[in-house]
Structure 1
Amino acid sequence: MAMSRNLSLLLYVTLMLIALTANQAYCQSSQPQTQSGHSLYGASQGSLHPQECGPRCTMRCSATAYKKPCLFFCNKCCDKCLCVPPGTYGNKQLCPCYNNWKTKRGGPKCP
């Protein structure tokens, strides 16, 4: 009986290690790949081409009720910085120019 229990425990631990290894490999492969230090998702300084700003800003502003001003300022920021943070909100630290451009009053210029 003890031998069977030890074998079951060993099998359980082995399966858990396999699952953890597979999960780690999946997580590493799902990270944005880079080319010459730039993220393929356009989340690093100067990694976008000007024609890519429109689609990135459309995605960035998709969750707001204020689409027109959001798109205007997002495109303006993207034209200057060639970067749009991923997602619909936050992540601005990935685009320093986008994050640090302020209005005259000191508020954030880029959505």
Structure 2
Amino acid sequence: MKLALATLLLISMLLRSSFLQFAMADPPTVAAPPTVAASSFCDSKCGARCANAGVKDRCLRYCGICCLQCKCVPSGTYGNKSECPCYRDMLNSKGKAKCP
């Protein structure tokens, strides 16, 4: 009886480890880095958008994130968000506008 129980336990452990390896075998997907053209477009547009910002580095960071995702930045230093609905509608975790 003890030998059968030990054998059953050993077999179940081997099966679990093989299923665990299959489940963990897929590497995480990594998004492709932005192209040079997209980042230079965003850098120039966000530089103009954040020219009068009080906290310029934060403005440039969030504007860059929004630009890469939306592929557009509204004109001017404030407002005009209707020109780019994706940029306008992007929200942060607190439900407020993410893009400057």
Q: Considering the TM-score relative to the shorter chain, is it more than 0.5? A: yes
Q: Is 1:76 aligned to residue 76 of structure 2?
A: no
Q: Is 1:91 aligned to residue 80 of structure 2?
A: yes
Match of 1:54 among 33, 43, 47: 43
What residue is the counterpart of 2:25 in the other structure?
Answer: none
| TM-score, length of structure 2 as denominator length | 0.61
SS of alignment partner, residue 86 of structure 1: coil
RMSD of equivalent CA atoms: 0.9
Which of the two has greater helix per residue? 2
Q: How does 1:1-111 map to 2 (within 5 A)?
A: 50=38, 51-111=40-100
Deviations 1:24-54 (A, max 9, x none): xxxxxxxxxxxxxxxxxxxxxxxxx513100
Unaligned runs of 5+ in 1: 1-48
Unaligned runs of 5+ in 2: 1-36
Extract structure 1 runs of 4+ deviating beyond 6 A: none
SS of alignment partner, residue 48 of structure 2: helix
Per-residue deviation, 1:99: 0.3
Deviations 1:62-81 (A, max 9, x none): 01111000000000000000
Letter in 1 for 2:57: K
Instruction: Give the structure with higher Rg (CA).
Output: 2
State percent identity of aligned pairs.
Answer: 44
SS of alignment partner, residue 78 of structure 1: helix
Per-residue deviation, 1:88: 0.1
SS of alignment partner, residue 89 of structure 1: coil
Structure with greater contact order relative to length (CA < 8 Å, sep ≥ 6): 1
